[in-house]
A and B are shown apart, each in its own frame.
Chain A
Amino acid sequence: MKSIKFIFSVLCIILLLVSCNNKPTLQKYYVANQENQSFMVADIPTSALNINEQSLTNSQLQAYKSVEKLNFLAFKKTTDNSSIYETERTKINQILSNNSYKSLIKYGGDKQGAIIKYLGSETSIDEVIIFGSDDSKGFGIVRILGNNMNPSQIIELVDVIKQSNFDTEQLKGIADFF
């Protein structure tokens, strides 16, 4: 009986240690690859939407304010870097397999794949992650970062975006990358 208790407590300690382990996060991954030539990293603040805050209703403003920025990272696949493509993709999948990332939708095609996950709770989302890959083009991650983003406000947010004078030139750089 004593030995069982001992084993049990050892197990508990191991579990604790594992959960405290300093795991790689997406943020660290972004920072680590910022300078890397094969990657493109972009930060798009919500202010790029050029929204006149005065014209928003209170609930629209609240929804708009809850989103901070879009964070974008892309890797372009060429004939020379296909092995890097595989290792980097595995790295990201490993990061995203962490339990704190809650899975929403997963799509897997022949040569393509996409995962949508989020961080936070059902009524207060901190981050939405969209990770897509295409074996012929490369992969990209979009992170929607914010504070207490509430899914009930999505409709409000769509209304806000409809009103925006978004400067599409800013996205052109991203499109040109592939």
Chain B
Amino acid sequence: MKKVILILGMVLLPIVTSAQNYFDSLEDQDGITSVIVNANMFNLMSKIDVSTEDPEAEEYINLIKNITSLKVFVSKSDVTTTKMQNMMSKYLKKSNLQELMRVKDGDTNVKFFMKEGSNSNKVSELLMFVKGTDLKVEGKNIETVLLTLTGDFDLKQVSKLTKKMNIPGGEHLKKAKKK
């Protein structure tokens, strides 16, 4: 009997505790643009043969190898922004993320949260929340950006990636140092 419960528990545990799926309900929300990149994609990308003579490319591959998922949600209206904000505060409470840093830059507020990874230089989860009135992505006005990254990676590498992807707020990450 105990065994059965144990097995059932083991089967159900990932379903119940999977924080990764917490924000999934935002995907089909009107007014929110989302980009989800799965672990499969990162696995495939890390298998691509790139000439390792290019140090920058090598750095990307190293980062990619250590990422399991990337989710970006962009909201353009007050309603969806409030919803995103509520979801985030609930998530922060239950997931034990620590605040990494906060940046106020004019009208833009950027917050970073993280969870420690396999060693003190690594991060297993990074959450970035950007809120502002004059944010622009590819010429379009947006209000809020929520980005989550999971895996086991180095913060310094991430700032380079967010910069490449044109995600506002990412540049502040360069200044971030783990406490």
Contacts and interface: CB of A to CB of B under 8 A. Distances in A.
Interface in A78-127: 102-110, 116, 118, 122-123
B41 interface: yes
Contact of B33 (A108, A122, A155): A108
Interface residues of B, number: 22
B44 interface: yes
Contact of A108 (B27, B38, B40): B27
| Interface of B (DSSP majority class) | mixed
Interface string B11-52: 000000000000000011011111111101101110111100
Contacts of B48: 151-152, 154-155
A109 B28 CA distance: 9
Interface in A40-75: none
A4 interface: yes
A102 B49 CA distance: 21
Given A4-B4, A122-B44, A155-B50, A110 B38 contact: no
Given A122-B43, A122-B44, A151-B44, A105 B49 contact: no
Contacts, number: 60
A55 B31 CA distance: 50
Given A1-B1, A123-B47, A106 B33 contact: no
Contacts of B45: 151
A153 to B, nearest CB: 8
- Chain A interface size, as a band, is 20 to 34
A123 B48 CA distance: 10
Contacts of B30: 110
Contacts of A155: 48-50
A44 B42 CA distance: 28
B4 A105 contact: no
15 contacts: A1-B1, A4-B4, A104-B40, A104-B44, A106-B27, A107-B35, A108-B28, A108-B33, A108-B35, A110-B30, A122-B47, A151-B47, A152-B48, A155-B48, A155-B50
Given A108-B35, A116-B41, A150-B47, 16 more contacts: A4-B1, A8-B4, A102-B38, A103-B40, A104-B40, A104-B41, A105-B35, A105-B38, A106-B35, A106-B36, A107-B34, A108-B32, A108-B33, A122-B43, A152-B47, A155-B50
Interface of A: 1, 4, 8, 102-110, 116, 118, 122-123, 150-155
Interface of B: 1, 4, 27-28, 30-38, 40-41, 43-45, 47-50
Can you list the 6 inter-chain pairs with the closest CB atoms, starting with the nearest?
A: A104-B41, A106-B36, A108-B34, A151-B44, A151-B47, A102-B40
